[in-house]
Amino acid sequence: MNEVAMPKLETIRMLFELDRDDDPRLYDDLIRFKKGTKRINRLRLLAHEAVLGQFNLPAVAATRMVPSPSFADSAGAAPSGTAFDLPVAADVFDVPIEK
């Protein structure tokens, strides 16, 4: 038997500082919430989605190879940006995957 001791799982505590110049999109998203629990929970959600996106990137890329319908906005122009510019959570409102 292997008697390797598992490390004790500890709570991670961080002091997080972010200037708008560092990441304007993230800053604008987080500044919407007052200091405290809501802002921390939003940061936690974004970090969780990023980790899922890193591990599921091949699966996400495979589903994105199928062309999806392009929707025009009220001005008649197609939305700019690719699927990878959007967070993984944005796929919640995407066209259902058919198998």
pLDDT in tens, 61-95: 555 555 555 555 445 554 555 545 555 566 666 67
Q: At a CB cut-off of 8 Å and minimum separation 6, what does 33 contact? A: 39, 42
Taking 80 as the threshold, does the pLDDT of residue 53 lie above it? yes
- Nearest-CA neighbor of 64 among 41, 38, 95, 93? 95
Residue 30 CA to residue 33 CA, distance in Å, equals: 6
pTM summary value = 0.47
Buried-exposed string 35-66: b where 16+ CB fall within 10 A, e elsewhere: eeeebeeebeeeeeeeeeeeeeeeeeeeeeee
* Mean pLDDT, rounded, for 55-60: 64
